[in-house]
Amino acid sequence: QVQLVESGGGLVQAGGSLRVSCAASGFRVSDEIMAWYRQAPGEQRELVASLTTIDTTGYASSVKGRFSISRDNAKNTVYLQMNSLKPEDTAVYYCNRLWPNYGWGQGAQVTVSS
């Protein structure tokens, strides 16, 4: 059974850094194109970053140069390192297979204060 468990969110001041993690079970993250999404209050969920099976990365223009997606195959975990955070990065962050999505985890709340 597939399970995605996000962790590592929190409250940080603008300009700070956070790393969120996503522990996966029921499949291997190395076999899938993995992605991080986020959903701000009142907004639709949006794609933030992706990582292919051959380590090619892609980023939304709003986070390019500030965020970095990676994975640890031994831990079956995907990470999102977020630097130079802005208040507009405030959202719940979710990881998932790019497409088709598995069931969603609970997400990790990231709040950036100005």
- pLDDT for residue 31: 97
Q: What percent of the chain has pLDDT over 70?
A: 100
3 state DSSP class of 31: helix
Q: What is the mean pLDDT of residues 4-23?
A: 98
- pLDDT for residue 79: 98
- pLDDT tens per residue across span 45-86: 999 999 999 999 999 999 999 999 999 999 999 999 999 999
Q: What percent of the chain has pLDDT over 90?
A: 100
Is the Cα dihedral 114, 40, 22, 5 positive or negative? positive
State the Cα angle at 79 between 107 and 31, rounded to 5°: 100
On whether the CB atoms of residues 50 and 37 are closer than 8 A, the answer is: no
- pLDDT for residue 67: 98
Secondary structure of 43-91 as H, E, C letters: CCCEEEEEECCCCCEEECCCCCCCEEEEEECCCCEEEEEECCCCHHHCE
